[in-house]
Amino acid sequence: MFSGAQISLYPMSDRFVDIILGSLSALDPYRDEFRIETDDVSTLIVGPPEKLFPAMRDLFVAAAASGAHCVLSAAVSRGCPGEPDDPICTPIAGSVHSGSLQDRIAAARDAVAKAQSTGQEVVAQFSLYPLGADHHMDEIYGCIDFLKSSGVFDKSKNFCTKLRGDAGPVFATLGEAFLRFGAPQGHVALDLTVSANSPTPRS
């Protein structure tokens, strides 16, 4: 299985170079497990699917710690049929997808409840696409049921769901949505935008 994310980080600051380059050091603990490639547009991280969202969390929290308004945009994918298998991407353990849809919703909820706080408030919006899966709408509706009970659900929007809360449980929720819904070895894609320190008043 191939799993990874293309990430772009946007600090709204004249110190954006220092913020971006400084925050990349938050990926250092993952470098032994990931293939990480940075160019002038984005950073690609390829590796175990269960480590993608912890890595993105740490990167984004490091950038947001600057106090600047920061936005992270990511395209996340696992099982893409157009990508070759990569030995660095370990398959998702069977336990992640074991049980009924209701069992997976409960397991995802329990995992988020155990997520550690980071002290950084974030807001996120994302869309999940379980591609090529039988009964894919059942998986999407199941994911929505999980999100509404995750503790970080903010509201449903056109084409996406909005989350709000500490970066720890928010990124844990995103990770559970990515890992537990859709076919275990199928192609699942997730489109994500995360923001912190926004000057816009909360609506």
pLDDT tens per residue across span 42-74: 989 999 999 999 999 999 999 999 999 999 999
Residue 203 lies in a domain: no
Domain-embedded: residue 123: yes
202 inside domain: no
Angle between helix 167-180 and helix 49-64 axes, rounded to 10 deg: 160
Gyration radius of the chain over CA positions = 16
In a domain, 187, yes or no: yes
Instruction: Please report which confidence band the pLDDT of residue 175 belongs to, taking 50, 70 and 90 as the band edges.
Output: very high
| CATH (domain of 35) | 3.30.70.930
pTM for the full predicted model:
0.92
**Number of separate domains in the chain:** 1
Range of the domain at 36: 3-196
